[in-house]
Amino acid sequence: MTTAATRSERQISPIFLGLVAIMAVSGWAVWTGFSSNTGFAVFLFVVSGWIVSLCLHEYAHARTALHGGDISIGAKGYLTLNPLKYTHALLSIVLPVVFVILGGIGLPGGAVFIERGRISGRWKHSLISAAGPLTNILFAIALMLPFTLHLVDPFDPGQTPFAAALAFLAMLQVTAAILNLLPVPGLDGYGVIEPWLSYKVRRQMEPFASFGLLAVFGVLWIPEVNAAFFGFIDSVTHAFGLPDGLSGLGYQLFRFWDNAL
User: Which residues are tagged catalytic?
Assistant: 58
Element (H, E) at 252: helix 246-254
Ramachandran region, residue 80 (left: φ > 0; alpha: ψ -120 to 50; beta: rest): alpha
How far is Cα 119 from Cα 115, in angstroms, rounded to an integer? 8
| Closest C-alpha among 169, 155, 156 to residue 243 | 155
Inter-CA distances, 40 with 27, 82, 167, 212, Å: 11, 25, 16, 33
**Three-state secondary structure along 114-164?**
CCHHHCCCHHHHHHHHHHHHHHHHHHHHHHHHHHHCCCCCCCCCCCHHHHH
How far is Cα 37 from Cα 50, in angstroms, rounded to an integer? 20
How far is Cα 131 from Cα 124, in angstroms, rounded to an integer? 10
